[in-house]
Chain A
Amino acid sequence: MLKAPSPRALVLLACLLALFVALPFFVGPYGLKFATRLIVISIFVVSLDFLLGLGGLVSFGHAAFFGVGAYAVYFISSDEGAANAFLALGAGVGLAAVCALAIGAFACLTRGFYFIMVTLAAGQMMFSLFHDTDIAKGSDGAYINIKPDVTIAGHTLLDFDDRRSFFYVCLFFLIVALLALFWLARTPFGRIVQGLKANDARLSALGYDVYRAKLAAFVVSGAVAGLAGALFACIDGFVTPDLFAWRQSGLAIMMVVLGGAGTLFGPILGALAYISLEEALKTASLVGDFVSAHWRLGTGLTLVIAVLLSPDGLAGFLRAAPRVSRRTRAAPSRPPAAARKASTLATRTLSKTFGGLRAVDDVTVSFAPDLVHAIIGPNGAGKTTFTNLLSGALKPSAGEVLVDGKNVAGMPAHTIARRGVGRSFQRTNIFGAFTVEENCRLAAQAAHPAILRFVDARRSEDDATIAYALDVVGLSDRADALAGAMSNGEQRQLEIAMLIASGGSILVLDEPLAGMGPEETRRVVDLLRDLRRNHTIVLIEHDMDAVFAVADTLTVLALGRLIAHGSPDEVRRNGEVISAYLGGHAPQEAGA
């Protein structure tokens, strides 16, 4: 999760700010314009970092929103008089947000490579639209003859034509944008956005609508990019389709990564470094004619070397040493009084086929409330497919999944999660880049899974839920540990804590004991016994000792079919049938 900048970084930022505030007093018009451009580009790259660095969404068409913001100022300006500055900037933000919503609605359906390509194509589409048609004078570009100002009752309070005051306006907006995005990153919404990058499958399994979360991050980022574009249009009073060009998007990504993605302030350093480098290499008096004639070679090679040598960007040098704090918490005396969402889970003639293979074949079974139900069977019997059907990660080919009697088959995973079905994964599935507490907070927040929440209104309730969940699994003293750095066993405990914190009352656990030592196994078995008081648990497990120690019912799957279901004793007596399917794995041997 986004950390506050280290003291070193803060000192550097403060020095930069002081430098910029003082700048207009000792540089000429060219220098001031250069600095203004630098600041506006900084706003642009900070907006991109919110999407790319925090949300993990690599948008290669971000220049589209920058360009749209710039053109909005052109559209709103007239040759008769100055447009209102608030209106002009507002139009930039608004038009960019609308475009981001339209493009994002489509782009957010995709992920990974396709997301990169779709955003790239969308940006090029905007470029073509403004380049090939007569909108705003086409490929020639267009002038904003009178720049916006703020005039009240005939008094011009602020004129964007005045270089010095416009410089301060831009600096003001950079500070506002940076602080606003910092704040946003620490709200419940920001937590979800960062969850997108860390693990979107887990986010969905917690009950969040991943599509809407991506779209919201896309629009926020696009709107801020629009602000930068609107300001950019006012520097020269000129807009051109080149603002949309994919190289602008590429340069922005470059500055973000060069500075340090996911830090928000890092990209400012990246912009500063890149633009200064380019400017310096172009200046013959500084580097000589030969270098300045070949400035692209210099920047290109510098960047190649930067990527190869420093994957973390400039901000990596400013990272604070990890804090080791050992907060101890008072153990909560009572579980939070969350309303129980669901209690029974059942399937009716549930089937799933892959190609010709029937991985789950006509399974009808019912799991009664407040018991531990174990599903056993050889590898390849369809157990994991079965749990994927229960949790909505896969859509059934036929049949029903019933939560408290209501059919949820075919619903998306996050909807089923919201109905109270929490699941753990065979491979531990947590937010590795978050601390234990942050993992649980994102889970607790899922009790009210709206994406756009900007205030931690339920913070004290969430605190209680988190403390309870961590106490139940025995991780109270590890709240500040980075989840990704914990042992396999601890990560599994954390995963169960997240399910509890998210309010899941039917827990579907896929091999929670895999890879655990005897000590950890015993702890988790005790935990499952304890959870049974107010949770319905469906458990897939190979460890037969543990299964017989904790399970109230056994369900045996083989080759996708249900071949036995009942109490452990009944199933054991049914041993003949089972050994025909399971060979040496017959569970009656395990009871001894």
Chain B
Amino acid sequence: MSLILLQILNGLQYGLLLFLAASGLTLVFGILGIINLAHGAFYMLGAYAALTLTARLGDIFLALAAGIPLAFAFGAAIEWLFIRHLYKRDHLQQVLLTFALILVFNEIQQTVWGNYPLSIPMPSYLSSSISLTADLGYPVYRLALMAICIVLALVMMFVIQNTRAGRLIRAAESNPEMVEALGFDSRILFRIVFATGAALAAAAGILAAPVESAYPGIGDRVLIISFVVVVIGGIGSIRGAFLGSLLIGLADAFGKVFVPKFSSVLIYALMALVLVLRPSGLFGRQ
């Protein structure tokens, strides 16, 4: 019984982190139409940056507060330098350019932090466990992490539903040309959306760092699972990304316990199943 509870918590925690990463990916694809393979690299850079920022600032949450605007600025710069040239090109060239960017980001990571897995200490005040049942303790940091993810998710949904920026984003998703014709410069909108995507991925990376440690291949794994989440949830749908993330998180957690050797295969099988039943994802528009 406690094993199931434990795996539910682990699954939710993984799923919530995944949601931060995947929501950025789905936003960027839904509005900009860009397949951003470098999205995972933002997550990876976030995890590594968490190390440096925590060392400088003394606390992972300060690192998060500083890392998000840094990642936003970095994302905006990348959009300005490279991505904006791709909006009118076909998917193939987007795939190619963002793939090349992964190589560049990996090099940055290797030069600055080296190629070894690095672990980041949890803040001491959250390093304890609390007991959920008689024989089950759960690390407080993981609970805090889930809480932060939920808060960020709620803030994001609030912004999208209730603010001027959110209305712009929703409008641009269905008809970017009309948004432009109503007097909004879509170049700036696109830059902000891309930067937001980068910031979300980096935030997930920073939060995950004390739990998973930082290693070079971490970005690839997150990228591919995020794509699976986006496909399951339906391209461009934040709600879909939320549901898809939790689904994948739970499937992964339980897969690791019950079919350890096939847990990854299980996730792809889940995606295949969803696509057979609903070819454009759970919340995708036809």
Contact = CB atoms under 8 A, between A and B. Distances in A.
A/B touching: CB–CB < 8 A: yes
Contacts of B231: 114, 117-118, 121
A interface SS class? helix
Contacts of B93: 257, 307, 311
A296 B104 CA distance: 6
Contact of B103 (A120, A297, A311): A297
Nearest to A60: B95
Interface in B246-286: 260-265, 268-269, 271-272, 275-276, 279-280
Interface stretch (B12-20, B168-176, B220-228): B220-228
B interface SS class? helix
Interface residues of B, number: 44
Contacts of B241: none
B264 A296 contact: no
Interface stretch (B84-92, B119-127, B150-158, B187-195): B84-92
Contact of A122 (B82, B101, B230, B268): B268
Interface in A101-146: 106, 109-110, 112-114, 116-118, 120-122, 124-125, 128-129, 132-134
A58 B92 contact: yes
Given A132-B261, A308-B82, A113 B97 contact: no
B261 A133 contact: yes
Given A114-B231, A125-B268, A304 B95 contact: no
Given A261-B92, A307-B96, A297 B104 contact: yes
A301 interface: yes
A299 interface: yes
A257 B264 contact: no
B19 to A, nearest CB: 18
A121 B92 contact: no
A304 B279 contact: no
B100 A304 contact: yes
A117 B227 contact: yes
Contacts of B133: none
Chain B CB count within 10 A is highest, among A112, A134, A296, A308, for A296
Interface in A278-305: 294, 296-297, 299-301, 303-304
Interface stretch (A156-164, A246-254, A471-479): A246-254
Given A124-B268, A246-B220, A304-B104, A110 B279 contact: yes
A300 B265 contact: no
11 contacts: A58-B91, A60-B95, A106-B276, A113-B35, A250-B37, A257-B92, A294-B107, A294-B111, A300-B101, A307-B100, A308-B97
Given A112-B91, A125-B264, A128-B264, 14 more contacts: A58-B92, A106-B275, A122-B268, A124-B268, A128-B265, A129-B262, A246-B224, A253-B95, A257-B93, A296-B104, A303-B97, A307-B93, A308-B82, A308-B85
